[in-house]
Structure formats: C-alpha cells, structure tokens
Structure 1
Amino acid sequence: MTAVDAQIRVVLCDDHAIVRQGLRSILERDEQIKVIAEASSSGECLAVVGRTTPDVLLLDLKLSTSSDTEGLDLTRQVAERHPDVAILVLTTFLDEDLVLQAVQAGAKGYVVKDVDTDALMRAIHDVSRGESAFDARSAAAMVRGMQAPAPDTKPGLSPRELEVLRHLARGLSNREIGKRLYVGETTAKFHVGNILRKLGVSSRAEAVYEATKRNLL
C-alpha cells in the first residue's frame, strides 16, 4: 500500500469558509490525512459525499439555515446512504441533547471546536478505524443527557467483556484495550464485536450510549 493509498480521505462541511480553510491547513499537517472536498450546506454536503465517498465527514451540526435540526437530518441521511463514511461532529455547541441526538442519528464521534489540534487528529484517526471519538466534555454531556438508567441488566456479558466495555467507554482503541488487558489487538477486537452484538448496536458510540442507559458502567 502506498502512502497516498493509506491516507484518510476527509470532507469538511462548515458554513464558514474561513473555518474550512483553517481546518484544511491544520489537518493536512498530518501526512496521513487528506482533505478531498469541502461543503458549506446540507445539499452540497450530500452531493459531495455521494461523489467522493470519503473515509470521514467532519461536520458542523449548526449550519446557517432556519432549521436547528438540519445538521442532525444531514447526519442521518449520510449515515443511511453512506454507512461506510464515518461522521465526526465538530461544533461550537456542547448541548446534552444534541450529543445524544447526533449519536442516535449516526455520528461516530463528537468534539467541540476548541479541542486541541492533536486531539482532533486522533479523533479523525479513531473514527476512520470504526472507533468512537468523544472529547471529555462531550462524553460527560452524553452521560448527563441520559434519563434515569434502566435496572442493572447485563445482557449476557462476561466479566471480561464488561471490563472491555469500561475501557471502550473511555475511548480506548482495540490496540490500547489489548495492552491494558495483556491480550492481542485481535482478541480485543473480538470482545468488542461480541459486546456490540449482545447490546444490539452497530457502533462503539452506540455501545457506550446503550451501556450507560443500562447502568453497565
């Protein structure tokens, strides 16, 4: 595989040109990330994603429209039409309900715009690998936004899977989980797959959401 083939292909969607320019400049300092296109509106974003099929869509939920839900609707449409595109929300707004709704709509991660550059790079790498990515405040907001947890029902999770689940909720990658548990990355990935299946979800972000609801953490 060449260096170019290994690059993470990113589409930026933000209604402010100066923000997109700044993000492009920052992201392309990482030789493994390539910004392949930009969009400033929901319609343009759908067209660009459909044409370029990026690895990651970096999306601001609050676009300049009369509808507060356009960003969530866009997230849902991209997730449904292009399930292989990882959606990472990058926004100014840290609202508990908004974080939850973004995850439910299909976002794989949620970070706020004052996150440091290294954390943003890591988030892009994480979601491109199918992992979830939340900065500490977004993760806390998601937990606060939950309603009272359901009874402590463990859907057939083994003690080891519960241990893996706790590491997963901290945002650790399969490799990092493996190191913590002294097992190989493949074994950690196997446990994560079992957790998703038993919780009836399809992503790590949804697993954290469901686990919090069930009081598993």
Structure 2
Amino acid sequence: MTAADSQIHVMLVDDHAIVRQGLRSILERDTQIKVIAEAASSGECLALMDRATPDVLLLDLKLSTSSDTEGLDLAREIADRHPKVAILVLTTFLNEDLVKQAVQAGAKGYVVKDVDTDALMRAIHDVSRGESAFDARSAAAMVRSMQAPAPETTPGLSPRELEVLRHLARGLSNKEIGKRLYVGETTAKFHVGNILRKLEVSSRAEAVYEASKRKLL
C-alpha cells in the first residue's frame, strides 16, 4: 500500500470559501489527510460525490439557503446514498436538538468550530475508522437531549456488554476498550457488534443515543 492509498480523503462542505480555505490549510498539515473536494451547498456536494467519494464528509449544518435544515437533509441523503462515507459535523451551532438530529441523520461525530486543531484531526481519524467523535460540549448536549422516560422494553444486554457500552459512551475505540477490559480488540469489537444488533442501530453514536434514551448508561 502506498502512502497515498493510506490517506483519509476528506470533502469540505461549508458555504464560506474562507472557512474552507482555512480548513484545507489546517487539515493538510496532517500527511494522512487529503482534502479532495470542497462544496458550498448540498447540490454541489452531491454532484461532486458522483465523481469522487470521500472517506469523511466534514459538514457545516447551517448552509446559506432559505432552508434551515439543508445540512441535516444532506446528511440524510449522503447516509442513504453513500453509507460508507463517515459524516462529521463541524459547525458553530450547538444545542441539544441539533446534535440529536445530526446523529439521527447519520452523523458519526459532532464538533464545534472553536475546537482545537489536534482535536479536529483526531475526530477525522476516529470517524474514518468507524468510531464516533464528539467534543465534550457536543457529547453533553447529546446526553441532555436524550433525557426521556425509558421505553417499556429494554434489550437483553449482558453485564459485559453494559460495561462495553459505558466505554462506548466515553468515546473509546475498540482497542482502548479492549485494554480497559483486558481483552483483545477483536473481542471488544464482537461485543460492540452485539450491542448495535440488540439496540437495533447501525453506528456507535446511535448506540450511545439509544442507550441514554433507555437509561442504560
């Protein structure tokens, strides 16, 4: 595998050209990250996706159109048409509803634009590996948004799976979970897979959301 093959290909979606230029300059300091495309709108993004599919879509939810939901609508469409693309929200807006809606739309992570450079790069690496990535304030907002009565039925998670679930909620990777529980990464991944299946979700972020809603954390 060449160095180019191992790079994380990123598409930037933000309606401000100066923001995209700044992000490109920052991200490409990491030799493992390559910005392959930029888009200012959902239509432009979808057109570009037909020619070059990125590993990570770095998406601002608030694009300058008459629709306040364009970013969320785009996330849903990308998640449906290109399920292998990891969507990472990068926005100035932070509230419980937006974080919850972003996760439900298919986002694997949510960070605010005042996050430091290293944290943003870590988030891109994390979601490219299938992990979730939330900064501290976004994670707290998501948990607050999920404070709801538990449903009548709860999944039959084993004590070990509940333990793994708590580590998932802290944003740990499979490898990190394995180290904490003194098991191999493959075993940790197996437990995570069981959790997703039992909670009937498709991503780690959705698992944390569903578990919080069911008061399993």
- Normalised by the size of structure 1, how large is the TM-score? 0.97
> What per-residue deviation string (whole Å, max 9, x for no partner) do you get for residues 105-134 of structure 1?
111110000001111111101111111111
Which ranges in structure 1 are unaligned for 5 or more consecutive residues? none
Partner of 2:156: 156
Alpha-carbon shift at residue 156 of structure 1 (Å): 1.1
Partner of 1:212: 212
> What per-residue deviation string (whole Å, max 9, x for no partner) do you get for residues 111-167 of structure 1?
000001111111101111111111110011011112423158541111111000000
User: 2:147 touches 2:212 (CA, 8 Å); kept in 1?
Assistant: no
Instruction: Give me the whole-angstrom Cα distance separating, in 1, the residues matched to 2:61 and 2:21.
Output: 18
User: 1:153 touches 1:216 (CA, 8 Å); kept in 2?
Assistant: no
Alpha-carbon shift at residue 194 of structure 1 (Å): 0.6
Aligned partner of residue 51 in structure 1, secondary structure: coil
Partner of 2:29: 29
Count residues in correspondence: 217
Q: Structure 2: which amino acid aligns with 1:113?
A: K
What aligned pairs does 1:173-188 form with structure 2 within 5 A after superposition? Answer: 173-188=173-188
Instruction: Give me the whole-angstrom Cα distance separating, in 1, the residues matched to 2:151 and 2:198.
Output: 17
Instruction: Give me the whole-angstrom Cα distance separating, in 2, the residues matched to 1:34 and 1:104.
Output: 27
Partner of 1:98: 98
RMSD (Å), alpha carbons: 1.1
Instruction: Give me the whole-angstrom Cα distance separating, in 2, the residues matched to 1:75 and 1:153.
Output: 30
Q: Structure 1: which amino acid aligns with 2:185?
A: E
User: 2:103 touches 2:109 (CA, 8 Å); kept in 1?
Assistant: yes
Alpha-carbon shift at residue 50 of structure 1 (Å): 2.4
Partner of 1:49: 49
User: 1:55 touches 1:86 (CA, 8 Å); kept in 2?
Assistant: yes
Q: Structure 1: which amino acid aligns with 2:57?
A: L
User: 2:90 touches 2:110 (CA, 8 Å); kept in 1?
Assistant: yes
Partner of 2:129: 129
What aligned pairs does 1:52-131 form with structure 2 within 5 A after superposition? Answer: 52-131=52-131
Percent identity reads 88
Instruction: Give me the whole-angstrom Cα distance separating, in 1, the residues matched to 2:50 and 2:7.
Output: 19
Instruction: Give me the whole-angstrom Cα distance separating, in 2, the residues matched to 1:89 and 1:97.
Output: 14
Instruction: Give me the whole-angstrom Cα distance separating, in 2, the residues matched to 1:53 and 1:141.
Output: 30
Instruction: Give me the whole-angstrom Cα distance separating, in 1, the residues matched to 2:74 and 2:178.
Output: 35
Partner of 1:9: 9
User: 1:153 touches 1:215 (CA, 8 Å); kept in 2?
Assistant: no
Instruction: Give me the whole-angstrom Cα distance separating, in 1, the residues matched to 2:92 and 2:98.
Output: 11
Q: Structure 2: which amino acid aligns with 1:185?
A: E
Instruction: Give me the whole-angstrom Cα distance separating, in 2, the residues matched to 1:46 and 1:176.
Output: 35
> What per-residue deviation string (whole Å, max 9, x for no partner) do you get for residues 156-208 of structure 1?
11111100000000000111111111111111111100100010000001000
Moved over 4 A (4+): 151-154
Alpha-carbon shift at residue 95 of structure 1 (Å): 1.4
